Amino acid sequence: MVGILKKSAIHGLRIQYSTDDFAGKLEIQTNLALRGIIGLEAMSHISKLVGETADATNFTEIAHEYLTKWKQLGINHDAKPPHSTLTYNKSTHGVLHNLNNNDRLLNLNFIPKDIYTM
């Protein structure tokens, strides 16, 4: 479980069914990648709760590393204003609906506020 979450969190699985019905099957969906990254941070919090501090540290380090990569790949910084993408392709547009469902619901406060206002 940990391996697939780590593997799929930033680059996704080869073909993913979208949580957005209009998109169908896509590779490297920005929203699903973000969901996986938030999942890694959530695993850090769970590990901490059960006393697995080494695992907690490992999960949070990976989550922060992946979030940094995601911010480079999943946001079109050339656009004015910058916006999220549907896939890691600057010509696409996406809505980050997984933020409220995961980061805020779990009270992780992991995703930077500027991502919420994008």
Chain segment 67-99, per-residue pLDDT in tens = 999 999 999 999 999 999 988 889 999 888 767
Q: What is the mean pLDDT of the chain?
A: 84
In whole angstroms, what is the distance from residue 68 CA to residue 37 CA?
A: 10
- 3-class secondary-structure state, position 17: strand
Distance of CA 76 to the CA centre of its chain: 15
60/110 Cα distance (integer angstroms): 10
Per residue in 51-67, pLDDT (tens digit) is: 999 999 999 999 999 99
**110, two tokens:** 């992991």
Reading the block at residue 104, the tokens are 């805020």
The per-residue pLDDT for 60 is 96
Which residue did the predictor score with more confidence, 94 or 25? 94
